[in-house]
């Protein structure tokens, strides 16, 4: 019941979600679910590409496509580090002279957040004849609803990640920003100036 | 070589290379060069494929290929990669035993990769 309600909740994308399922040959394949919420974009895409190629199975063969079906949820909540949200550009050339178009990550997420993950994964796959078939196995949804509720799904546990310790300058900037935010709530101009003087004394 | 031999070797080639002697001769020479080179490449490729398969098999148990082989070398197990890849494909329990031997021999090996996954159907359906 719930799955029926969920599946009819996005009727517009139903065709795209189920597109080409008939073309995928074997169903001895598992259905793996990735939750992209809070994951870093590239690291997630790297794991997805390993699973899609079938490289985590000992029966891997490079000439045939044996990867599992991958469903990615919460694509709009994927993180990027640094200033990539505004500074990472997707560029493409239309073929006409001078028409190099570009679009930033922020605009792409506003337009179609699934494309971000799809591009990242596709560019990590080997460029051979199996690439398009592997593309068919990847289904991405911007939020956590999907029409595959009746299949045997398996969650994928991401490997533990060693987050790099912040560089000292970035950490100081973060601490300063935090303290500024706290003091703005309290509301005091004099206190802010005093803080800057303290920080300068610390640096010199 | 006379033409008959060339055409015999040129079976299955594309376009004029299977029918016209001048082109077929070039392509057949190239094909023989490739086959000479690839008889040597095949040994490399097969070994690389075995290593990929062993890697996949051991990562399912939480150990990666490098640590696994190090553990086996320490225990003086002299199974080669071909046999190990066959074991990992067809004999999963024996392979798990080998992975455990390697893990005991080399105690840096705890959970290098993620622990085995749990089936979580209900949590993700809306």
A148, A34 contact by CB (below 8 A): no
Judge: A58–B117 Cβ closer than 8 Å, yes or no. Answer: no
Q: pLDDT band at A6, cuts 50/70/90?
A: very low
Q: Choose the closest CB to B119 out of A56, A144, A154.
A: A154
The number of beta carbons lying within 10 Å of the beta carbon of residue B4 is: 8
What is the distance in angstroms between the Cα of B77 and the nearest Cα belonging to chain A?
20
Partners of A70 in the β-ladder: A32, A138
Higher pLDDT, B122 or B64: B64
Tell me how far apart the alpha carbons of residues A162 and A154 are, in angstroms, rounded to a whole number. 25
Cβ-Cβ contacts under 8 Å, A55 against chain B:
52, 56
Judge: B124–A33 Cβ closer than 8 Å, yes or no. Answer: yes
Q: What are the DSSP calls for A15-43, one per residue?
A: HHHTTTGGG-------EEEEE-TT-BHHH
Residue A148 touches chain B, beta carbons under 8 Å: no
B16-49: pLDDT as tens digits: 999 999 999 999 999 999 999 999 999 999 999 9
Helix (H) or strand (E) holding A203: helix A189-203
A136, A18 contact by CB (below 8 A): no
Chain A 81-140, residues with CB within 8 Å of chain B CB atoms: none
Looking at chain B, list the stretches that DSSP marks H as alpha helix, in order from N- to C-terminal side: 3-9, 21-59, 65-74, 81-90, 92-105, 121-124
Judge: B118–A155 Cβ closer than 8 Å, yes or no. Answer: yes
| Alpha-carbon Rg for chain A in angstroms | 22
Three-class secondary structure of residue A154 per DSSP: strand
What is the distance in angstroms between the Cα of B42 and the nearest Cα belonging to chain A?
14
User: What pLDDT does B124 receive?
Assistant: 42
Tell me how far apart the alpha carbons of residues B126 and B123 are, in angstroms, rounded to a whole number. 8
Residue A159 touches chain B, beta carbons under 8 Å: yes
Q: Choose the closest CB to B120 out of A58, A155, A158.
A: A155
Partners of A140 in the β-ladder: A72
- Maximum mean pLDDT: which of A3-12, A72-81, B27-36, B116-125: B27-36
Name which of B56, B87, B99, B119 to mutate to probe chain A: the one with the most chain A Cβ atoms within 10 A of its Cβ.
B56
Tell me how far apart the alpha carbons of residues A86 and A104 are, in angstroms, rounded to a whole number. 6
Judge: A157–B54 Cβ closer than 8 Å, yes or no. Answer: no
Least confident range from A130-144, A145-159, B22-36: namely A145-159
Q: pLDDT band at A130, cuts 50/70/90?
A: very high
Higher pLDDT, B120 or B74: B74
A92-129: pLDDT as tens digits: 999 999 999 999 999 999 998 989 999 999 999 999 99
Has residue A202 got a pLDDT over 60? no
User: What pLDDT does A173 receive?
Assistant: 84
A31, A152 contact by CB (below 8 A): yes
Three-class secondary structure of residue A98 per DSSP: coil
User: What pLDDT does A198 receive?
Assistant: 54
């Amino acid at each position: 019941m719930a799955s029926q309600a969920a599946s009819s909740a996005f009727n517009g994308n139903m065709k795209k979600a189920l597109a080409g399922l008939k073309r995928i040959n074997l169903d001895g394949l598992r259905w793996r679910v990735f939750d992209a919420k809070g994951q870093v974009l590239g690291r997630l895409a790297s794991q997805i590409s390993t699973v899609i190629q079938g490289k985590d199975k000992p029966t891997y063969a490079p000439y045939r496509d044996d990867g599992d079906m991958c469903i990615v949820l919460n694509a709009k909540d994927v993180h990027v580090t640094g200033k990539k949200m505004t500074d990472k550009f997707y560029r493409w050339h239309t073929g006409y002279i001078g028409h190099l178009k570009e679009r930033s990550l922020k605009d792409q997420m506003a337009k179609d957040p699934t494309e971000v993950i799809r591009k990242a994964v596709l560019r990590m796959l080997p460029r051979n004849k199996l690439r398009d078939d592997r593309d068919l196995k990847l289904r991405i949804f911007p939020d956590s609803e999907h029409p595959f509720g009746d299949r045997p799904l398996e969650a994928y546990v991401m490997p533990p990640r060693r987050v790099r310790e912040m560089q000292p300058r970035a950490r100081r900037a973060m601490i300063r920003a935090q303290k500024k935010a706290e003091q703005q709530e309290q509301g005091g101009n004099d206190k802010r100036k005093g803080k800057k003087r303290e920080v300068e004394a610390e640096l010199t | 070589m006379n033409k008959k031999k060339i055409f015999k070797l040129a079976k299955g080639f594309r376009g004029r290379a299977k029918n016209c002697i001048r082109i077929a001769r070039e392509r057949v020479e190239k094909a023989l060069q490739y086959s000479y080179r690839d008889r040597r490449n095949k040994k490399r490729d097969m070994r690389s494929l075995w290593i990929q398969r062993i890697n996949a098999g051991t990562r399912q148990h939480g150990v990666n290929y490098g640590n696994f082989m190090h553990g086996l070398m320490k225990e003086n197990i002299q199974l080669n990669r071909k046999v190990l890849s066959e074991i990992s494909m067809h004999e999963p329990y024996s392979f798990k035993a080998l992975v455990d031997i390697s893990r005991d021999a080399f105690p840096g090996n705890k959970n290098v990769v993620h622990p085995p996954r749990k089936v979580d159907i209900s949590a993700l359906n809306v």
